[in-house]
Structure 1
């Protein structure tokens, strides 16, 4: 169960407090350290899936942990950047867009999973993730880097937010096809025991 791909995913989760602690030190070198740790953690997002497929080690644990690790990493860094006012004013908007989209897609996936309907990751979503990770890594460097670092990070973040809206709409549209006016989208009633016995046709006795 704890194969190398799964260990890489767990390492991505374990890196989150290290990124936060490094950034919290409020030193120039600490911001670079936080960015380096974040970039390393982000790269594992590619290699855990690639190794799992190549070595035929795709597992339920990996499929469960991988999206959780991604969302925890991204949400933690976005909140960190907002807390330290690296993101402030209108630049908080793309952070909210990204966070809200992740919550929406997670809920949509959970609902569709009950219907045994998959929601495949599109190529646009993969680009969104890559640009999002680059933006957050650059913003972690922030004012510890050259003057052009912050404008670059903000531009990448807004671009990632635009892709987030696009891919979020695609996922929502795909999910609605399985929900709206689809009798099969309503799970069958579960049996009730004791005095309120429910039969297979839904009647209570």
Structure 2
């Protein structure tokens, strides 16, 4: 195995995947949200750098080709698990997350079954866009958690009438409630839209992989 810079970056991304969940075990919110967001975004950036450096420096290896998709899937699956687990279990969030998780398990199983012929399921440009959208959507949803908990900290001890008066502009907003609520709402909306688009691309690429694998699934006669 060759441990060059691209492969080290990929391995660090793989290690960072469970680290996102660990943040919520050792830190209270919103600090856990902040640390998870920074760790996830930092790891997602390496997804571009390791591939770019491997091509630019001619350091593409079998180890990197094996670790890269595993690291991507681990990041997405674990981060979605954390987001859904700490959410209100809204179907608007649970459904696209379920589609994404189902596709990742299905395609991984398909590749394992195909064995030596799994090379027919090479990563397409559409699949790369799918992964990029998934990571952006997850980062935005983590940001929503940050806004949500800063808003909760700011209104702690306030009665609902006071909060409503501040948000409606009738009372001076001395604690920044308006921008915290706006950040929470917009991050939630944008994150869900991106997640649904990513889920659509996820199902589309999953169907494409199944179509390519179909000739290898036919029974011999």
Task: Name which structure has the greater RCO, CA cutoff 8 Å, separation 6+.
Answer: 2
Aligned partners of 1:18, 1:165: CA distance in 2, in Å? Answer: 27
Compared with structure 1, are the counterparts of its residues 55 and 113 closer, same or farther at alpha carbon in structure 2 (3 Å cutoff)?
farther
* Structure in which a larger fraction of residues adopt helix: 2
Superposed displacement of residue 32, structure 1: 2.6
Compared with structure 1, are the counterparts of its residues 129 and 116 closer, same or farther at alpha carbon in structure 2 (3 Å cutoff)?
closer
Kept in 2: contact 1:109–1:118 (CA 8 A): no
Superposed displacement of residue 20, structure 1: 2.0
Superposed displacement of residue 151, structure 1: 1.0
Aligned partners of 1:67, 1:88: CA distance in 2, in Å? Answer: 29
Aligned partners of 2:135, 2:122: CA distance in 1, in Å? Answer: 20
Partner of 2:58, secondary structure, is coil
Mean alpha-carbon deviation: is it higher for 78-87 or for 91-100?
Answer: 78-87
Aligned partners of 2:32, 2:98: CA distance in 1, in Å? Answer: 26
Kept in 2: contact 1:112–1:118 (CA 8 A): no
Partner of 2:120, secondary structure, is coil
Q: Report the equivalent of 1:166.
A: 204
Kept in 2: contact 1:81–1:87 (CA 8 A): no
Aligned partners of 2:145, 2:117: CA distance in 1, in Å? Answer: 48
Deviation readout 1:165-201 (Å, 9 max, x if unpaired): 1111111101112322567xxxxxxxxxxxxxxxxxx
Compared with structure 1, are the counterparts of its residues 87 and 77 closer, same or farther at alpha carbon in structure 2 (3 Å cutoff)?
farther
Compared with structure 1, are the counterparts of its residues 116 and 158 closer, same or farther at alpha carbon in structure 2 (3 Å cutoff)?
closer
Superposed displacement of residue 87, structure 1: 4.7
Superposed displacement of residue 3, structure 1: 0.7
Q: Does 1:40 align with 2:42?
A: yes
How many positions carry a matched residue from both structures? 183
Q: Report the equivalent of 1:200.
A: none
Mean alpha-carbon deviation: is it higher for 20-29 or for 77-86?
Answer: 20-29
Partner of 2:64, secondary structure, is helix
Superposed displacement of residue 86, structure 1: 5.5
Deviation readout 1:103-147 (Å, 9 max, x if unpaired): 111122223332364322112111111111000111112242313
Mean alpha-carbon deviation: is it higher for 60-69 or for 173-182?
Answer: 173-182
Length-normalised TM-score, structure 1: 0.81
Kept in 1: contact 2:17–2:71 (CA 8 A): no
Q: 1:59 aligns with which of 46, 58, 61?
A: 61
Mean alpha-carbon deviation: is it higher for 107-116 or for 126-135?
Answer: 107-116
Please give the root-mean-square deviation of Cα atoms over the aligned residues, in Å. 1.9
Q: Map residues 110-129 of structure 1 onto 2, 5 A cutoff.
A: 110-115=112-117, 117-129=119-131
Kept in 1: contact 2:93–2:192 (CA 8 A): yes
Q: Map residues 146-165 of structure 1 onto 2, 5 A cutoff.
A: 146=183, 147-165=185-203
